[in-house]
């Protein structure tokens, strides 16, 4: 099993949590990708440098203040992501794990993507993808991701929900080994619209999508995640970013994993950001990164088996 791991933004907690998460043996040959000076002391079968950093942790520094520091960090982060994707697409690794990135820094450095999910989809040739947050207690898939809340109702179409559901069901079968996935669709409005009193999206958009998928719902947000945690559903499709993220973080804070579904290779990541405020202090929790590494190994083995069968 071969795994590519990026360190994430060199200013943040990514390098330290990767180092700590890899301190315990992992059943994989690991290729680490990031700034050369941050890779030096880390355990890995292979190290792939994409520049040097040398400016220390945190968002600001007198050595390189303001935008120039962010641009440099964004370039290193972006080049590492692209290198990991190239290795996976070439079949040189079976899965990738990405460290926490800072979206603004990536934008400043010339990588114009709202997040890893959309970026990796383009690098893989424009494939249909979905963003899953997974833990031992709950799996949540976002129908819309990094967009303003005011834009969600227009983006939440029947077609989009169905496409997301199909990507999810296929990944649950192929990567997670669930022969007949049970999907639930979370409502957009309070009380699932209350028969149109609080909005008509449930009847007009979500219900037809549920029928097309053979899923359950639409079910109110205040109950659907609880029911999933009790074992009624294998995954919940959440209509927008924060309702899904809040559910998974309340259920499994520090133990959740971000999984990109639909790619020709598994990609996982920890369920948190760069945490510049505590970078370099030794306080960051590496639990989610360790879970991301372990899940990437499991999914990579499944994916490798599927490629062998083909």
pLDDT value, residue 50: 98
- Whose tokens are 């520090």? That residue is 254
* DSSP three-state, residue 29: strand
* DSSP three-state, residue 142: strand
pLDDT value, residue 67: 75
pLDDT value, residue 62: 58
CA pair distance 9, 78, nearest whole angstrom = 9
- The answer to whether 109 touches 75, Cβ cutoff 8 Å, is yes
Please state the rounded mean pLDDT for residues 104-131. Answer: 95
With 70 as the cut, is the pLDDT of residue 63 above it? no
Please state the rounded mean pLDDT for residues 72-90. Answer: 98
pLDDT value, residue 2: 97
Question: How do residues 153-164 score in pLDDT, each as one tens digit?
Answer: 999 999 999 999
Please state the rounded mean pLDDT for residues 162-186. Answer: 98
**pTM above threshold 0.85:** yes
What sign for the dihedral angle of Cα 272, 278, 279, 284?
negative
Distance from chain centroid for Cα 159: 22
With 60 as the cut, is the pLDDT of residue 178 above it? yes
CA pair distance 72, 68, nearest whole angstrom = 6
Mean pLDDT of the chain: 95
* CB-based burial, 281-302: b 16+ in 10 Å, e otherwise: eeebbbbbbbbbbbbbbbbbbb
CA pair distance 176, 194, nearest whole angstrom = 35
With 70 as the cut, is the pLDDT of residue 296 above it? yes
CA pair distance 305, 89, nearest whole angstrom = 16
- The answer to whether 48 touches 83, Cβ cutoff 8 Å, is yes
Please state the rounded mean pLDDT for residues 202-216. Answer: 98
With 90 as the cut, is the pLDDT of residue 306 above it? no
Tell me the residue length of the chain.
Answer: 310
CA pair distance 17, 19, nearest whole angstrom = 5
- Cα–Cα separations (whole angstroms), residue 4 to 101, 129, 243, 256, 292: 16, 20, 30, 19, 12
Q: Where do the DSSP E strands lie in the chain? A: 2-6, 29-34, 46-49, 95-97, 130-134, 139-142, 183-186, 216-219, 235-238, 257-261, 267-270
pLDDT band at 281 (very low <50, low <70, confident <90, very high): very high
- Cα–Cα separations (whole angstroms), residue 98 to 81, 115, 182, 186, 208: 7, 12, 28, 28, 36
Per DSSP, what are the bridge partners of residue 235? Answer: 183
pLDDT band at 204 (very low <50, low <70, confident <90, very high): very high
């Amino acid at each position: 099993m071969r795994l590519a791991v990026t360190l994430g933004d060199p200013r943040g907690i990514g390098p330290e949590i990767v180092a700590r998460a890899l301190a315990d043996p992992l059943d994989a040959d690991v290729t680490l990708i990031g700034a050369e000076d941050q890779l030096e002391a880390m355990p890995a079968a292979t190290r792939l440098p994409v520049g040097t950093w040398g400016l220390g942790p945190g968002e600001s520094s007198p050595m390189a203040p303001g935008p120039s520091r962010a641009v440099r960090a964004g370039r290193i982060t972006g080049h590492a992501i692209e290198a990991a994707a190239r290795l996976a697409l070439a079949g040189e690794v079976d899965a990738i794990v990405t460290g926490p990135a800072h979206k603004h820094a990536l934008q400043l450095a010339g990588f114009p993507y709202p997040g890893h999910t959309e970026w990796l989809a383009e690098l893989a040739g424009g494939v249909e993808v979905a963003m899953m947050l997974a833990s031992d207690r709950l799996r949540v898939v976002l129908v819309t991701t990094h967009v303003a809340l005011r834009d969600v109702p227009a983006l939440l179409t029947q077609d989009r929900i169905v496409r997301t559901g199909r990507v999810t069901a296929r990944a649950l079968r192929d990567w997670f080994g669930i022969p007949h996935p049970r999907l639930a669709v979370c409502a957009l409005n309070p009380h699932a619209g209350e028969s149109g009193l609080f909005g008509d999206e449930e009847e007009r958009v979500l219900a037809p999508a549920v029928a097309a998928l053979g899923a359950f719902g639409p079910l109110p947000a205040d109950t659907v995640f609880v029911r999933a945690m009790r074992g009624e559903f294998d995954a919940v499709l959440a209509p927008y970013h924060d309702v899904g993220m809040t559910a998974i973080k309340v259920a499994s804070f520090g133990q959740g994993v971000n999984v990109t579904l639909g790619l020709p290779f598994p990609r996982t990541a920890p369920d948190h950001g760069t945490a510049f405020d505590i970078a370099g202090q030794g306080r960051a929790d590496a639990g989610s990164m360790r879970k991301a590494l372990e899940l990437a190994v499991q999914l990579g083995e499944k994916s490798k088996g599927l490629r062998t069968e083909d």
